[in-house]
C-alpha cells in the first residue's frame, strides 16, 4: 500500500513509518514539525525508495489537497495531534485547533480525494486515537475528533477505521512524558517527580507493538469499526517508576538506589485515577495481542535511552521540556 501517515515524525507516527517501510509499504510522511517532532526518528528509513516527506500542517487545506494529488495514497493513517495533557491544561486552544479543526480539515481533504478517485472501496481513513477521552482539554479534543471521523463515515460514506490505544512507551519517546522523565531525571541526579501519591493506574503499550497493530487494522479492519489496542500491562505510576529505577540500578549503577530520588509533587488538575481498555475485538477479529511485557519493554526502553544520549540531549532545549506544566 501507499500510506499517507500524518504526524510521522512524532513518537508513535515514526514507529508506524519505520515498520511500514520494513513491511514493504510506500510511505508519505506528512508532519508540521512542531516542538515534539524529530526527523531523526525516521532517519533509519529516510533513504528508502518508498519513503517521501512533506512538511505541512493538517489545518492547511490547500497543502493537503496538493499532497493527495501528488502522492495518490491508498490509505491515510492519521496520527498528527497535540497529545501532552499538561500542555493542554496550560494552553487548550492549540489542542482544539489541531485535534478538532485539523482532523476536520483532513477528513474533508480525504473525502474530496476519495470522491475524485471514484470512491474506491479499497481506500481507508484510519484515525488513531486514545483511551484518554475524559477529564482534560486534550481528552475532550480527542473525543471530538473520534466523533468527527464516525460522522464522516455515517454521513458521507468515507471508508474509515478507528483505533483507541492505551499509554505508549518505547524508543524515541519525547522527553516530556512520564517514562523518559523518570529515566533522564534519574540519570541527571535530579528529583524524579511523581504526581500525587502515584496511585494512578495506566495500561502500558510498547510502541512497536502498537505500530504493528495499526498496520494490521488499516489493512484488515472492518469499515466503521473501532478497535481498542491495549498493552495488557496495567500498573500504578509509582510501581512503574520503581521498576525503572531498579533497571537503572542494574544497567547504570550509582552509589545509592535511584528510587531515593523519587519525589511526590502536587497532582495534575482532574487527574484520572485509572484508564482501562478492553482489547477483545482486535484479538478476536484480527488475532492480534501485544508481544512485549511491561518488564521486557521497560528494559528495552531504558537501554535505548542509555545508548542514544545524543538524540535526547538535542531535544532538551525545546520549549517547556524539563519544566512542570499543567498545574492549572
> pLDDT for 139-154, tens place per residue?
999 999 999 999 999 9
CA distance to 36, 37, 158, 290, 292, per residue, from 28 (Å):
19, 16, 20, 26, 28
pLDDT at residue 322 tops 70: no
What pLDDT is attached to residue 75? 98
Candidate list 31, 82, 86, 132, residue with the active-site label: 132
What pLDDT is attached to residue 176? 86
Instruction: Tell me the domains of the chain and their CATH numbers.
Output: 2-167+205-230+272-291 (3.40.50.720)
Q: Is 51 tagged catalytic?
A: no
Q: What is the mean pLDDT of residues 296-322?
A: 91
pLDDT at residue 324 tops 80: no
Distance between CA atoms of 1 and 37, rounded to whole angstroms? 24
Candidate list 54, 57, 82, 131, residue with the active-site label: 131
Q: What is the mean pLDDT of residues 66-77?
A: 98
Q: What is the mean pLDDT of residues 165-186?
A: 95
Q: In what helix (H) or strand (E) does residue 54 lie, and over which residues does it extend? A: strand 51-55
- pLDDT (tens digit per residue) in 31-59: 999 999 999 999 999 999 999 999 999 99
User: Degrees (nearest 5) of the Cα angle 97, 102, 106?
Assistant: 170
Query: 269 falls in which pLDDT band (50, 70, 90)?
Result: confident
Q: Is 57 tagged catalytic?
A: no
pLDDT at residue 323 tops 90: no
Q: What is the mean pLDDT of residues 61-67?
A: 98
Q: Is 104 tagged catalytic?
A: no
30 touches 8 (CB < 8 A): yes
Residues 6+ apart with CB under 8 A from 169: 177, 179, 204, 205, 206, 207, 297, 298, 301
Question: Please, where are the H alpha helices in 189-235?
Answer: 207-220
Q: Go through 130-157 and write b for each residue having 16 or more CB atoms within 10 A of its CB, e for each that does not.
A: bbbbeebbbbbbbbbbbebbeebbeeee
Q: What is the mean pLDDT of residues 179-207?
A: 96
Q: What is the pTM of this model?
A: 0.93
Q: In what helix (H) or strand (E) does residue 311 lie, and over which residues does it extend? A: helix 309-313
Candidate list 51, 138, 195, 258, residue with the active-site label: 138
The grid coordinates of residue 144 equal: 471530538
Q: What is the mean pLDDT of the chain?
A: 95
The pLDDT > 70 percentage for the chain reads 98
Q: What is the mean pLDDT of residues 280-287?
A: 97
Query: 319 falls in which pLDDT band (50, 70, 90)?
Result: low
267 touches 327 (CB < 8 A): no
Amino acid at each position: 500500500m501507499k500510506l499517507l501517515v500524518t504526524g510521522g515524525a512524532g513518537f508513535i507516527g515514526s514507529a508506524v513509518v519505520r515498520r511500514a517501510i520494513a513491511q514493504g509499504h510506500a510511505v508519505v510522511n506528512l508532519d508540521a514539525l512542531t516542538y515534539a517532532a524529530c526527523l531523526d526518528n525516521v532517519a533509519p528509513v529516510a533513504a528508502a525508495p518508498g519513503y517521501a516527506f512533506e512538511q505541512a500542517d493538517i489545518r492547511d487545506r490547500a497543502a493537503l489537497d496538493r499532497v493527495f494529488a501528488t502522492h495518490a495514497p491508498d490509505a491515510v493513517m492519521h496520527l498528527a495531534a497535540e497529545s501532552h495533557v499538561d500542555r493542554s491544561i496550560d494552553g487548550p486552544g492549540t489542542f482544539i485547533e489541531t485535534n478538532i479543526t485539523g482532523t476536520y480539515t483532513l477528513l474533508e481533504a480525504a473525502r474530496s480525494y476519495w470522491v475524485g478517485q471514484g470512491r474506491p472501496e479499497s481506500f481507508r481513513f484510519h484515525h488513531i486515537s486514545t483511551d484518554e477521552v475524559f477529564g482534560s482539554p486534550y481528552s475532550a479534543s480527542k473525543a471530538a475528533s473520534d466523533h468527527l471521523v464516525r460522522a464522516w463515515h455515517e454521513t458521507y460514506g468515507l471508508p474509515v477505521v478507528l483505533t483507541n490505544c492505551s499509554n505508549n512507551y518505547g524508543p524515541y519517546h519525547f522527553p516530556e512524558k512520564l517514562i523518559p522523565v523518570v529515566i533522564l531525571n534519574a540519570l541527571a541526579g535530579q528529583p524524579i517527580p511523581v504526581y500525587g501519591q502515584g496511585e494512578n493506574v495506566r495500561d502500558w503499550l510498547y510502541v512497536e507493538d502498537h505500530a504493528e497493530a495499526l498496520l494490521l487494522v488499516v489493512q484488515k479492519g472492518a469499515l466503521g469499526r473501532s478497535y481498542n489496542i491495549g498493552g495488557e500491562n496495567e500498573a500504578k505510576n509509582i510501581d512503574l517508576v520503581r521498576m525503572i529505577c531498579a533497571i537503572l540500578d542494574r544497567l547504570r549503577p550509582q552509589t545509592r538506589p535511584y528510587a531515593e530520588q523519587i519525589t511526590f509533587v502536587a497532582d495534575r488538575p482532574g487527574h484520572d485515577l485509572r484508564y482501562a481498555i478492553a482489547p477483545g475485538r482486535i484479538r478476536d477479529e484480527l488475532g492480534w495481542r501485544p508481544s512485549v511485557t511491561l518488564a521486557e519493554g521497560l528494559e528495552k526502553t531504558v537501554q535505548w535511552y542509555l545508548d542514544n544520549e545524543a538524540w535526547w540531549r538535542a531535544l532538551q532545549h525545546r520549549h517547556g521540556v524539563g519544566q512542570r506544566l499543567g498545574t492549572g
